[in-house]
Amino acid sequence: MAYEKLFQRGRIGSMKLKNRIVMPAMGVSLAQPGGEANEHIIAYYEERAKGGVGLIITEITRVEETYGTAVPNQLGAYDGRHVPHLERLAERVHKYGTKILLQLQHPGRENKSDMIGGRQIVAPSPIMCKVTKEMPRELTTAECEGIMKAFVKGAVLAQRAGMDGVELHAAHGYLLNEFLSPYTNKRTDRYGGSFDNRIRIMEEMITAIRFLCGKDFVISVRISADEFVEGGLKLEDTIKIARTLESFGIDVINVSSGIYESATTVIEPASYPQGWKKHLAAAIKENVKIPVIAVNNIKEPEVAEQLLEENVCDFAALGRAHLADAEWAKKAKEGRGEEINRCIGCLYCFTSLSDGGHIKCAVNPRCGREVEYSHLEKNGNGQKVAVIGGGPAGMVAALTLKERGWEPVIFEKSDRLGGQLNIADKPILKEKLAAYKKSLIYRTEHAGIDIRLNTAADVEMVKELQPAGVFVATGGTPIIPNLPGVEQPHVMTAEEVLTEKKEAEGSVLVVGGGVTGMETAETLASKGHSVILIEMAKEIGKGLYRSMLADYMIRFDKLGVKVMTYERLMAVGAGGVKVMNTITSQLHELPADTVVLALGVKPDESLTAQFEDAFDEVIVIGDADKSGRIAEAALDGYSRASVF
């Protein structure tokens, strides 16, 4: 069998696992506002269980609602009414031979007052989180005891619901982590000060859970092996914590890293390589006898297998990889690794949650929408459908149509599939996006779809198919502003630069602070160019998750990329540009040997009108309809094709 370590049976306490693949906790905001598990969250987890994962650890589950609600529509385990709903969740996961732990959590100071009815947030000590920027109230000793009991009650309710165990979330800067860390715990009572006092709340709840739930009920603790902040927990501290927790009687340690203030180390942007923090889990594993679960930014089965072979951990945890492809484990086991829909590390999932929505994935339109797309009607009956354009929207639409029994025919004017992905994967640090493109093309090419490359479709050509409908996915064209001087040879588009159709020389001014502009600026700076990036709005990176933007700014600083906001391009000269400050309306000049335009794309409508006049059923998708990102293209292609 391929990946022998990955698909070796495992054991955590009394719990037997069919493989070494864990889906760790990720907030999804799919439950009822009152914390009940509904069909949306059950279907979400059931699809991953059906996909072959050995152990699922649920999203953060609140143990009390007064101060402990962290996100909208979050699971709850603080009231008896939650039990029958959690029971349905456990049963739906168990029928596939997958085990499930309920992760219990309290956000502490990493919360917002508007999440808890305007009440002041609470923490072990009144130390403000630099990200949430709200001053917490210090918990009284009695309140600390009450929270400890709330976690214990959550575990008892989980056991009643048939869960295999619980995970106590003592990582990522949340409340239990705040008690453990000298960075956030300055208390002088029995829950603060010395190491023994800081870990006391964990000792009390673990002891109580073990007493009330018995020796066969699994207890996991998630820890941040390094908080990556000055004055916070370091590896030598967490080794001691792990050994002490083991002595309290837990069954497994789940190793992660970071807190909100070092967010890129918690949820890594695309620039972080797979396995970058494996030394943390390896060190913990060397110092405990119980099993170790570890996240390591894993996307590929080969990486997970290698980490197990290197004895970094006993179980490989893959979070966002399971958002991108619910069948990650199944495909790996069956030797279909090329078909795995790859996570691109864009953090669109977290952007969705931070905007107040439910979990979504840029490359998997079904993620968080499992109920809406639970039963695709297979009514195509072999009828042909023309898909004009082989970019992400076109390929996703064609794959969906094929699944429903239609016979899609892709017309692609270039010599390869990929569309805008063939440009988007050109900047530096885009290996994950390139892997996604490769997988999407592989699945399209091996799905039995008629693909016609080097074919610029016209109406007469498509009429020969006698199609039931036409999907127009011709993409977009770069926006070129009508400004003096833009026709000069030293003015070029980001697409031309990234595909090396044109070469930038000397100092470069990149116009446009969206993702494409940022990627282009970084790529040119990495090649030795002096780069200025201008953006007319207040900020660059609109729509990016905060840690993605922070990661870009760190890299910009290292490369010397100068960012100027509130600046609008007005004209291009021979050796520079004229810009206007959008606040003061004052004009000034900036030097530039090369000007690169990264102002987005506009729909390519050249063919749309012709097809709409010639056919009754014409569906315009992706950038051909409205410019957007991969997330919009994939959802557009999938959703429109799912109901055609």
Active site residues: 174
Residue type, 51: G
Cα–Cα dist 303/313, whole Å: 12
Q: Do 451 and 412 form a contact (C-beta atoms < 8 A)?
A: yes
Considering just the CA atoms, what is the radius of gyration of the chain in Å? 26
Q: Do 319 and 328 form a contact (C-beta atoms < 8 A)?
A: no
Cα–Cα dist 315/313, whole Å: 6
Angle at alpha carbon of residue 29, lines to 25 and 32, rounded to 5° = 120
Cα–Cα dist 335/326, whole Å: 16
Q: Which two tokens stand for residue 64?
A: 């009390």
Cα–Cα dist 471/485, whole Å: 38
SS (H, E, C) 162-221: CCCEEEEEECECCHHHHHHCCCCCCCCCCCCCCHHHHCHHHHHHHHHHHHHHCCCCEEEE
The candidate with the shortest Cα–Cα distance to 297, out of 328, 329, 265, is 265
For 7, 287, 297, 306, the CA distances from 275, given in Å and listed in that order, are 19, 20, 6, 10
The candidate with the shortest Cα–Cα distance to 58, out of 262, 303, 222, is 222
Please, what's the b/e burial string for 495-508 (b: 16 or more CB within 10 A of its CB; e: otherwise)? bbbbeeebebeebb
DSSP state of 62: E
Taking each continuous run of H as one helix and of E as one strand, the counts in the chain are: 21, 28
Phi and psi angles of residue 252, each rounded to the nearest 5 degrees, phi first: -160, 150
Q: Which two tokens stand for residue 454?
A: 């080097």
Q: Are β-strands 407-411 and 476-478 bridged in parallel, bridged antiparallel, or unpaired?
A: unpaired
The candidate with the shortest Cα–Cα distance to 252, out of 294, 210, 213, 280, is 294
Please compute, for residue 542, the number of CA atoms within 13 A of its CA located in the half-sphere on the CB side: 13
Q: Which two tokens stand for residue 462?
A: 């498509």
- 247, 251, 253, 254 alpha-carbon torsion, rounded to 10°: -160
The candidate with the shortest Cα–Cα distance to 20, out of 331, 293, 343, is 293
- 512, 518, 523, 529 alpha-carbon torsion, rounded to 10°: 60
Cα–Cα dist 518/361, whole Å: 22
Cα–Cα dist 508/590, whole Å: 10
Q: Do 173 and 132 form a contact (C-beta atoms < 8 A)?
A: no
Cα–Cα dist 486/511, whole Å: 12
The candidate with the shortest Cα–Cα distance to 596, out of 553, 537, 549, 534, is 534
Q: Which helix (H) or strand (E) holds 76?
A: none
